Amino acid sequence: MKFIEFKNVSKHYSGQSVVRDFSLEIDTGERIVILGPSGCGKTTVLRLLAGFIAPDSGQIIIGGQQVASEGKIIIEPKARNLGMVFQDLALWPHLTVKGNLAFGLKAKGVPEKDREQRIVEILRLMQMEAFIDSRPAELSGGQQQRVALARALILQPDVLLMDEPLSSLDLELNIRLRKEILKLQQSIGFVLLYVTHDREEALEIGSRIVVMKAGKIVQTASVEEIKDYFRKLTLNY
């Protein structure tokens, strides 16, 4: 069932086209990876969906509701029920793991008893119970990444947006966390929209891959079809 729609979405900065005529439909529970080089418009697509910026033209629809259209934000970011994890993680350094997780729940008015229960549950899921009172500086890179994921997922989003979340990690940890993200998505069932420039990462995480270049979609296909697409590109090079 269709959950997210981008309809001919375009975005310009200082007269320069960053996203051009972007059209994409994403089904409930689907894992979409946007793959492309730096500067191709990947992050801008996430920012458009999150509601941080409005499209100059085109429409964005989430759950059957138009959230942005033709230069206007119709539904504000906080009302879109999206979770976000960025490359820099953006954990609050002065707060403990518990404090980082509780922050968004407090903002949403979740009662203290329910907050406590949800924090315990998500930390158990992330295998981070022992670090509940630790601050980010006391955690390894992989543990910080788990906390960032937990902070996004504790709000029970319909959609999780991830922007190059593993690019700063070493290869072994990168591979391990890919598997953890897949397990979480399969067990919880949120829509995953994942941005990366890493082809191998894209092929492992996505159920469907969107290849972008210079602000446009150049290919959208299943993992196997994308493998063939890149194989032919290599042969024709």
pLDDT for residue 28: 96
Q: Answer for the pair 135, 168: CB distance below 8 angstroms, yes or no.
A: no
Beta bridge partner(s), residue 16:
13
Q: What are the strands of the beta sheet with 191-196, ordered from one edge?
A: 82-86, 159-163, 191-196, 31-35, 208-213, 216-222
Please indicate, yes or no, whether the overall pTM of this predicted structure exceeds 0.85.
yes
Identity of residue 57: S
Identify the three-state secondary structure at position 74. Answer: coil
Q: Answer for the pair 90, 148: CB distance below 8 angstroms, yes or no.
A: yes
pLDDT for residue 235: 62
Considering the domain 1-77+161-237, what is its CATH architecture? 3-Layer(aba) Sandwich (3.40)
First to last CA, the chain: 38
pLDDT for residue 157: 93
Domain definitions of the chain by residue range = 1-77+161-237, 82-156
Per-residue pLDDT of the chain (237 residues; tens, 9 = 90+): 899 999 999 999 988 999 999 999 999 999 999 999 999 999 999 999 999 999 999 999 999 999 999 999 999 998 999 999 987 778 999 999 999 999 989 988 999 999 999 999 999 888 899 999 999 999 988 899 889 989 999 999 999 999 998 887 788 888 888 888 998 899 889 999 999 999 999 999 999 999 999 999 999 999 989 988 888 776 654
pLDDT for residue 6: 98
pLDDT for residue 236: 55
Selection from 227, 202, 162 nearest residue 36 by Cα: 202
DSSP H or E segment with residue 117: helix 112-125
pLDDT for residue 237: 43
